[in-house]
Chain A
Amino acid sequence: MIKYVIQRLFLMLLTLFIITGMCFVLVRMLPPAELPPGDIHTQVIEARREAQGYNKPYLVQFGIFLKNVLTKWDWGVSDKLYMGQEVSAIFASKLPATMIVNLYSILLSIPIGILLGIIAATNKNNFIDHTISTATMVCISVPSFVYAFLIQYFLSYKWGLLPFLVKSGTDYFSPEMFVSMLPVILSLSLGVIASFTRTTRAELTEVLTSDFMLLARTKGLTRTQATMRHGLKNCMVVVLPAIFGNFIGIMSGSFIIEKIFAVPGVGSLYINSINGRDYPMFIMLTVFYTAIGLAASIVVDISYGFVDPRIRIGSKK
């Protein structure tokens, strides 16, 4: 198991390294942002650029970049959006909002999703199952910004139940902040709920028809007992890894939802850095998002092995 984990981690780091290198070179090939003459930050940024080797070959630049990141956690300075500020500091200041919003949404959606999945699976092919499955289908097909619009229009504007945008400030755990985050949490949750419902339903219907369920019934367990003790346990083999994967994903956030509700988070920072052509910021966030994506997939794969030791995804055996 340890050997397998180490092997997967090594491969992941290699992939991350290659992607980072490619993106870095591609970004550095673009002309760097022009600095406003006379601005107090211009000289600082120019000095930093000189130190980062902007006039040297790309591979040398990449070497300096890696050395700075690994030894000093220095990702450069923002040269468009936040003139002269450390990219890593801005990133760190944006991370909490994203994480909190996503954490709430996961805590809300996992129980609901699994519960709906169980209800649908145990009522297979009747009215309840069809309703839940159709709703799941709709929620998965429609992108989040459409129901973000519906939530914002009806809950916030038409009926005035919730605030329009997320409250500014950094008091992330105050009650007002929580209320103002509710529309965001709802918009984020719908998709997650739908995907959990679908996974749970698909797995559970398969498990419920297997032989050991019949055995459990024949030895005298009621339907509920058999489902709870044997059915659920076996369907968790697939559902649990998905939950772990989602927990890694809470850091990445959603570009669109954060933009719509003005969440001061990483997603909107990324969109702004792309639209504002802030390259140092763009590189850091690209590395971050790539790492999150790779980490999530690796966690999912490895946790299969922990949940059910017979499974080794991606290994040769």
Chain B
Amino acid sequence: MNHENIPREKFTVIGIGKQEVTEALSVGGRGYFFDALSRFRKNKSSVIAAYIILFLVLYAILAPMLSPYKITDKDTVYTGYPPYIEAVSRLGIGLFDGGTVRTGQNETQLAALRAMGEETGMDPVIRIMDEEETVTKFRGEEKRTVTYKLRVNKYFETGVVFRVMSETEFQKIQEYQNRTGLQIIYPYVKKEDIGGITAAPNIWYKVSDSKGTPLYDSDDRLIPAYSTDKSSEGAPYDSLRIDGDDGNYIYSIKKAGALECRVCYYNYYIYANGHAPMFALGTNSLGQDLFSAIGLGARFSLTFALIVSAINLTVGMIYGAIQGYYGGNTDLVLDRIADILSGMPFIVVATLFQLHLAKNVGVVGSFLFAFVLTGWIGMAALTRKQFYRFKGQEFVLAARTLGASDGRLIWRHVFPNSLGTLVTSCALIIPSVISSETTFSYLGIINLSDFVGTSLGTLMSQGQTSMTAAPHAMLFPALYFSLLLISFNLFGNGLRDAFNPRARGVEE
């Protein structure tokens, strides 16, 4: 058969304008990014981690705004107090009630707590958790002692405190009392009326011994020991009087040119701050509100980590690109420099920068320099590896043959291919920066307090010192911090697996 001269009429058109063909082609390709995203979505733990990160970031942004406290507000009495929100504590569900556990409390101590509740109407005892009875022989007599394990509201437990104030302040509080009906100042109790016990502002009843064992009247009620000694009254009092006061109790005494009175601290707090204590995560040993302090510290950590990662990504990419693309002697020299820099322990770099530069560029600036000086090395090594991988491939060769310049080859042809790897490793740099930043402020080598007020590391090192008295002051920052690091690492791993499915499970 003659294949060269096939007559025209033997050909028939089968495809022009036919619907099925165009339809088959219009499906379109799945882009690299889209592909990676769908792989990422399948990795459940990474998706959860992403949501946790979102939540933590939102917390960092919103918490300092929501909290009524600034970082400079340092309460002098409520230091190391557990979480407390008045509205929630009224529900009695055991959350945010300022509760702390007191073990081995004897009956006198329990009675003292109950008496505080009787005087101010705020009973510190939330509930009696356990009761233990021990019988001891004392001089031939059997003696029963009961000890209690109590859950007490630490905010109410503070009760009444002695406060020295000027007469104008005293007048102002009285006006406030008249306006709001909130009893702040309570009648004064002299130490000679309560068996000579000093520095115990919460004892307002008659006692039988110096331990403070209360005396009861025939109705089993406490007997008030308020002073009626008008001669020692500090200033005239013309405001709310407590129940049972017929106008004889005095509400202040003179002390060192000013007045001393018994002040219910909880109500005084409302007077001074305009709202009841609201420490959703408690306070630390400095009396700072942890809820906003954690958010503030985290804000700094996150911003700082982002800046550092961005700079390191840029510097590392350029450096690694030059190294990888040119190779040979350039690579050798640049690699030596990177080697020397990476041989320096980071703590040395950070310290030296701190000592030399902190005066000129500030603590944060010098810390940033320290991170940037050594941080890009990992990124450069990674870029270099990617460049070695791609630069010999045919598409680069083809571009070079067509006359593309070095810069064009680097940025238009090799670089986009390695971008996925680099960006994902950036997600793993962020947690490591946060971690070392926190470690350094924890150790006290870097003091960020002047710049941001506090940082997660500072909060944790303060929490560590008051660990036995207020474990929550360590626990909450540590929890936030751990969650942040774990979810960033999970998220980064998920991203990496999604962008290079071949490297799944390989740790770099």
Distance in Å from the Cβ of B433 to the closest Cβ of chain A?
Answer: 13
Question: Residue A52 at the B interface, CB < 8 A?
Answer: no
- Residues of B330-386 contacting chain A, CB below 8 A: 339-340, 343-345, 347-348, 351-352, 355-356
Surface stretch bound by B, among A32-40, A171-179, A217-225, A288-296: A288-296
Q: Is the CB of B347 within 8 A of A145?
A: no
The reply to whether A289 and B348 form a contact with Cβ atoms under 8 Å apart is: yes
Residues 432-448 of B at the A interface (beta carbon under 8 Å): 435, 438-439, 442-445
Is B431 on the interface with A (CB-CB < 8 A)? Answer: yes
| B507 sits at the interface (CB 8 A) | yes
Asked if residues A19 and B344 are in contact (CB atoms below 8 Å), the reply is: yes
B17 at the interface (CB under 8 A from A): no
Are B343 and A141 touching (Cβ within 8 A)?
Answer: no
Segment of B26-34, B203-211, B227-235, B474-482 engaged in the interface with chain A: B474-482
A157 touches B438 (CB 8 A): no
Q: Contacts A137-B489, A145-B442, A146-B481 known; A290 to B460 CB distance under 8 Å?
A: no
B residues near A259, Cβ cutoff 8 Å: 443
Residues of A within 8 A of B481 (CB): 146
Interface assignment of A271: CB less than 8 Å from any CB of chain B: yes
Q: Does A234 contact B (CB under 8 A)?
A: no
Cα–Cα distance between A18 and B341 once the two chains are bound (Å): 10
Query: Cβ of B224 < 8 Å from any Cβ of A?
Result: no
Pair B485/A30 contact, Cβ less than 8 Å: no
Interface membership of chain A positions 254-271, coded 1 if the CB is closer than 8 angstroms to chain B and 0 otherwise: 011001100000000011
Taking a contact as CB atoms under 8 Å apart, the answer to whether B339 and A289 are in contact is: no
Contact with B along A45-88 (1 / 0, CB 8 A): 00000000000000000000000000000000000000000000
Given known contacts A30-B355, A141-B485, A143-B438, is B343 in contact with A149 (CB within 8 Å)? no
Decide if B507 touches A260 in the complex (CB within 8 Å). no
Contact code string B449-480 (vs A, CB < 8 Å = 1, else 0): 00000000000100110011001001000100
CB distance from A33 to the nearest CB of B (A): 12
* A16 CB-CB contact with B under 8 Å: yes
Is A141 touching B482 in the complex (CB atoms < 8 A)?
yes
Contact of A149 among B478, B505, B507 (CB under 8 A): B478
Question: With A and B bound together, what is the CA distance between A277 and B354 in angstroms?
Answer: 12
Question: Which B1-49 residues have C-beta < 8 A from chain A?
Answer: none
Q: A15-B339, A142-B486, A271-B443 are in contact. Are A153 and B348 (CB under 8 A)?
A: no
Minimum distance in angstroms from A129 CB to a CB of chain B: 11
Q: Is B506 interfacial (CB 8 A cutoff)?
A: yes
Contact: A202 with B482, CB < 8 Å?
no
Whole-angstrom distance between the alpha carbons of A293 and B348 in the complex? 12
**Inter-subunit contact B348/A286 (CB<8 Å):** yes
- Asked whether B343 lies within 8 Å of A293 as measured between CB atoms, the reply is yes
Question: Which of chain B's residues has its CB closest to A16's CB?
Answer: B343
> How many residues from B make CB contacts under 8 Å with A?
37
Residue in B closest to A286 when the chains form the complex, CB atoms: B348
Min Cβ gap B374→A in Å is 12
Interface assignment of A215: CB less than 8 Å from any CB of chain B = no
A140 at the B interface (CB under 8 A): yes
CA distance A30 to B359 in the complex (A): 12
Assembly CA distance A202 to B503 (angstroms): 12
Residue B490 interfacial (CB < 8 Å): yes
Residues on A with beta carbons closer than 8 Å to the beta carbon of B444: 271, 275
**Contact (Cβ within 8 A) B439 A157:** no
Q: Does A274 contact B (CB under 8 A)?
A: yes
Contact between chains at A141 and B431 (CB < 8 Å): yes
- Tell me which residues across on chain A come within 8 A of B507, comparing CB atoms: 198-199, 202
Which secondary structure dominates chain A's binding surface? helix
A-B contact count (CB 8 A): 96
CB distance from B258 to the nearest CB of A (A): 41
Q: How distant is A34 from chain B, measured CB to nearest CB, in Å? A: 15
Across the interface, do B445 and A275 meet the contact criterion of CB distance under 8 Å? yes
Q: Given A15-B339, A140-B489, A275-B445 in contact, is the A149-B474 Cβ separation under 8 Å?
A: yes
Q: Is A205 an interface residue (CB 8 A)?
A: yes
Among the stretches A21-29, A92-100, A107-115, A243-251, the one at the interface with B is A21-29
Complex: how many Å from CA A140 to CA B482?
10
Chain B residues, CB < 8 A from A143? 435, 438-439, 485
- Contact bitstring A187-202, B, C-beta under 8 A = 1, else 0: 0000000000011001
Per the bound structure, the CA–CA distance linking A260 and B445 in Å amounts to 15
B445 touches A274 (CB 8 A): yes
Task: Choose from B348, B439, B445 the contact partner of A145 (Cβ within 8 Å).
Answer: B439
A304 at the interface (CB under 8 A from B): no
- CB of A26 within 8 A of CB of B505, answer no
Q: Is residue A227 contacting chain B, with contact meaning CB distance below 8 A?
A: no
Report if A289-B345 is in contact (Cβ < 8 Å); known contacts: A145-B439, A145-B460, A260-B464: yes
Contact A294 B355 (CB under 8 A): no
Take A256-B443, A260-B464 as given contacts and tell me if A29 and B485 are in contact as well, using a CB distance cutoff of 8 Å: no
In the bound complex, residues from chain B placing their C-beta under 8 Å from that of A138 are 482, 486
Per the 8 Å Cβ criterion, residues 477-503 of B in contact with A are 478, 481-482, 485-486, 488-490
Contacts of A142 in B (CB 8 A): 482, 485-486
Which A residues touch B344, using CB under 8 A?
Answer: 19, 22-23, 290
Which residues between 114 and 167 of chain A lie within 8 Å of chain B, taking CB atoms? 137-138, 140-143, 145-146, 149, 152-153, 157
B348 touches A157 (CB 8 A): no
- Complex CA gap A293/B431 in Å reads 22
Q: Does the CB pair A149–B340 fall under 8 Å?
A: no
| A282: B residues at CB distance < 8 A | 351
| Contact call A137/B435, Cβ cutoff below 8 A | no
Docked pose: A259 CA to B444 CA in angstroms: 11
Give 7 CB contacts A-B under 8 Å: A11-B339, A23-B352, A27-B352, A149-B478, A274-B351, A290-B344, A290-B345
Given contacts A19-B344, A141-B431, A143-B438, 20 further A-B contacts (CB under 8 A): A15-B343, A16-B343, A26-B356, A30-B355, A141-B482, A145-B442, A146-B478, A146-B481, A146-B482, A149-B460, A149-B474, A149-B478, A153-B474, A202-B506, A256-B439, A256-B442, A271-B443, A271-B444, A275-B445, A293-B345
